[in-house]
Amino acid sequence: MQIERLTIPDLVLMAPKVFGDDRGFFMETFRQSEFEKLCGQYAFVQENHSLSRQGTLRGLHYQLNQPQGKLVRVTRGEVFDVAVDLRSKSSTFGQWVGVYLSEDNKQMLWVPPGFAHGFYVTSREAELQYKCTDYYAPDDEVCIHWNDPELSIEWPLRHGEPPTVSAKDAQGLSFSRAPTFS
């Protein structure tokens, strides 16, 4: 597994070794012992799978009292995946990192607890799968508005058109009003 620590060092981009031939390919996408060496002592309790159409933006989501770490990968298509540091005592508080995850690059992004997460679909469709370190708790979920001017996330919007978002995401909080982690 190749790893890259991003500009926020707790975010880890992982690229598995892919063994391919004329039959197809094989890759190991997760090994607990290697993950713990790279990212810490986390256990995954839930895995999610979503399908979204081009131009869809989901996020920026997080849970405050039951924070989730997420190991994110794309198995079909491509997304621009974003994590925002919400740890108030972090030297990178309020900063964001965005990476392209796709079925072609087969990379995975580790987003630890204490971050908001979102993604924008750049391909015709995309299937995203992610493991979570805590269970989904809808009453604990917080959403920051995807286009918050203080964060100034550089979403690669298709033709500069606004993304398709859920009603919930359209009502996201401003970064300055969103609760953070101490």
Q: Catalogue the active-site residues.
A: 61, 130
Q: Half-sphere exposure (CA, 13 Å, Cβ side) for 89?
A: 2
Cβ-proximal residues to 21 (8 Å cutoff; 6+ apart), any chain: none
CA angle at residue 163 from 124 to 127, to 5 degrees?
40
Task: Provide the 8-state DSSP code for 123.
Answer: S
Count of CB atoms situated within 10 Å of the CB of 77: 21
Q: Residue 95 is encoded by which pair of tokens?
A: 């900063």
CA–CA dist 47, 56 (Å, integer) = 21
CA–CA dist 131, 102 (Å, integer) = 16
Cβ-proximal residues to 149 (8 Å cutoff; 6+ apart), any chain: none
